[in-house]
Structure 1
């Protein structure tokens, strides 16, 4: 009897850990639960220690084949002031040649191509090669709804979105407050807005969409997106939408002196007493905001572990394509005088990067002050750690609204940090509330259990991925 060859799926990721990590975790589930053969095509920037570590782990993985596509040179195609969003779109457009070449050479032909949101221009390549294609959204269903409805909003709304007096309505979903729109919608005259609209249209060319959320968390938005739902009807959208999350990475402890000393420090702290502070692998604060945050942590009188990097004044995502190399002595110059010595017994400063999943899983962590990247959010949710929402860029303002106002798992500031400096007194208040609020902690535990159940055998996300696998395998 002839042995059937394993089904082969190719996944495509743009630069950035917020995209690469969930793509890798999706790949693992296809391999471990469905015995698929998986190839990951990752366009990388290799500009941070975090990305280098993830890449090294992926390149040596025995679970899947990992192909690192060096980021194309786009210096002649972008302006100096073009945003990270624009640069990612241009990078992935230029990478299409390499993606097409690799797909064409794979024999036998892959059964499916799954791309992230910045790679939707690769979908026509899949059609040419007669390969089924999906888009994998590393974020949540409410964001997906806004992205694919934005070409309609572009025709309906006059003037800038942020100047609107009423919330932006999405059929079948919660409306979006003008100040919470996705970064490319902040200025309709900017190049990134046109790139963003093209992404919204690109989704509809695929054979289906996978979202890193779960049924029980966002039933309303998922039903609106599916056939018969209000949003689906408004867009004449016929493609299926699958909730397959929460997909998060597992702890991988580095065996070096800095990681061991970090864990040792946490081991010495009482349970749920430490606030973890991190703005992701690419987030930065202004020098003024950095000083206020330091004062706020000190005033809160709570233990803290702060992943700190030198400030950049203009763009909150300015570290995305740059290599971080600041040590504590360099960073300390931007902190209040005497802060390091005064907080030495209750605080730990870690330069540039730390092993976030390991930290969030430690019993000492009682709260997480975060930029609200969806990956970081899900890592906190799956560990049951309450959040302090501090959005900086991308869809993070939407995330903060979802987490604080609808799900009740986060506390947030009174005024968006992008609008004004958050002062030390408010920061101290939020930090204390995140650690001491039983209401937020209990609600987070409920969401944590819901997410874990969705991923387990027979759960909603497990079943959804099985349906996709069956479709791909034919």
Structure 2
């Protein structure tokens, strides 16, 4: 029977695409393994490319799924729990027909861990973010045992996580802030299961997060027990991606913004893009526009309508990203006309990897999502960090304080408001400054070289992948 590895991502778009890239990498480097990707019943429209080398199976839905899926507070954890019985049947069928060596899951598909354990299948976690966030996850059970308070109630108190700079409690990942919410319990269970797993595959490389990976491997993150093997096999940059680092779609033809970039001087354009969920208030959008105008820089800016506008569109049944809403009403009067010679504003989407790889782009204002970070590093583009949600504030701490790959923004209030003057100052420093801006530009260039070396034949990422493959061969 063929030696087989099964991958089971959560139904989040970015996780599915990243897991598919991992599957392709395994097949390319270790073709002895057959790869099967099992998708949740909630992932029927998953944006993964056709591949004759990978088998894709969809878990069936049931009549009981409909009301559960309709609940407004359903999380990826809930969806994975709903699919657990069907996953067990699928894994049992695969194990009966093939030599099933391992199951690879991500944190949000954690409900698969006890299922695989009951079937005697070695389980590995694929951590789609970087080692900085992994250090937080692995240390959460320890932090949980040291206090009875929620992180949200600790406010500006410092949370010390081995290998990381000090982090404010309020900057911890959103799902971990309130220990009274079931989402927190899901995270805690996932963290504990990761620690008990056969190993953790991380979407990073040793040179990019050297000190953090060393701290994890040395056992600092899990002081009360053994740390599972850590395999840094990335960073895996998606071969087909959409404009926000979340996966490819039908818009892969050459975009108009690339033709515009062709006409701009080398490294002269600052690119602003904030992921598929990144939205700002109307007031903040106007402030951003004013900051870009004051900077005098060339810019390419991806704008999504404010949350209120998106909610209204959703309620009316229309798509707020379909181009039907004019951007002008969210921007200062006359802004588009005054900046049309040096700026381009796009509605909702841009081919991010292609933009970052273009020779005219010299800086990136980012929400600090991990996919966006590794795409920028891979392209050698320095960053300004503007975190919005999830683990992005933790990523910012790494980017700014640990790695010096990004400049920070001074943010105020609960919504993290950034003034026009602050944005203008930091993007100007990033693009032309001789102080911190120069340091960041040089550090990103060095990080890019390290990533290229790690991914090359004989590089650290290939060595890590070979090490985990050897474990699979032994069974």
Q: Say if 1:302 and 1:45 are closer, same or farther in 2 by CA, change over 3 A.
A: farther
Counterpart among 122, 129, 146 of residue 156 in structure 1? 146
Query: Which residue in the other structure is 2:196 paired with?
Result: 205
Matches within 5 A, 1:115-194: 115-162=105-152, 163=154, 166-171=157-162, 173-194=164-185
| 1:87 is the counterpart of 2:87 | no
Distance 1:260 1:172 in 2: 41
Query: Which residue in the other structure is 2:287 paired with?
Result: 292
Matches within 5 A, 1:397-436: 397-415=393-411, 418-436=414-432
Q: Structure 2 stretches of 5 or more lacking a match?
A: 242-247
Are the aligned partners of 1:14 and 1:44 in contact in 2 as well (CA < 8 Å)? no
Matches within 5 A, 1:372-451: 372-415=368-411, 418-436=414-432, 437-451=437-451
Distance 1:159 1:174 in 2: 22
Q: Deviations over 1:339-390 (max 9, x none)?
A: 2222222222222222111111111111111111001110000000011111
Task: Count residues with an aligned counterpart.
Answer: 454
Distance 1:20 1:452 in 2: 24
- RMSD between aligned alpha carbons? 2.9
Counterpart among 265, 271, 282 of residue 277 in structure 2? 282
- Structure 1 residue runs of 4+, over 6 Å off? 252-258
CA shift at 1:191, angstroms?
Answer: 3.1
CA shift at 1:217, angstroms?
Answer: 2.6
> Which stretch shifts more, 340-349 or 37-46?
37-46
Distance 2:384 2:60 in 1: 35
Q: Say if 1:339 and 1:462 are closer, same or farther in 2 by CA, change over 3 A.
A: same
Q: Say if 1:87 and 1:298 are closer, same or farther in 2 by CA, change over 3 A.
A: same
TM-score w.r.t. length of structure 2: 0.87
Q: Say if 1:341 and 1:46 are closer, same or farther in 2 by CA, change over 3 A.
A: farther
Counterpart among 253, 261, 265 of residue 256 in structure 2? 261
CA shift at 1:71, angstroms?
Answer: 8.2
Q: Structure 1 stretches of 5 or more lacking a match?
A: none
Distance 2:413 2:370 in 1: 18
CA shift at 1:130, angstroms?
Answer: 2.6
Are the aligned partners of 1:328 and 1:351 in contact in 2 as well (CA < 8 Å)? no
Q: Say if 1:139 and 1:44 are closer, same or farther in 2 by CA, change over 3 A.
A: farther
CA shift at 1:176, angstroms?
Answer: 2.6
Matches within 5 A, 1:4-403: 6-35=2-31, 36-43=33-40, 55=47, 57-58=48-49, 60-69=50-59, 73=65, 75-76=67-68, 80=72, 82=73, 87-106=75-94, 107-162=97-152, 163=154, 166-171=157-162, 173-226=164-217, 228-232=218-222, 234-250=223-239, 259-313=254-308, 324-327=320-323, 329-403=325-399
Distance 1:169 1:9 in 2: 37
Are the aligned partners of 1:309 and 1:326 in contact in 2 as well (CA < 8 Å)? no
TM-score w.r.t. length of structure 1: 0.87
CA shift at 1:442, angstroms?
Answer: 0.9
Q: Deviations over 1:123-169 (max 9, x none)?
A: 22222333221001111222112112212212212433242554212
CA shift at 1:172, angstroms?
Answer: 5.5
CA shift at 1:216, angstroms?
Answer: 2.3
Distance 1:323 1:203 in 2: 38
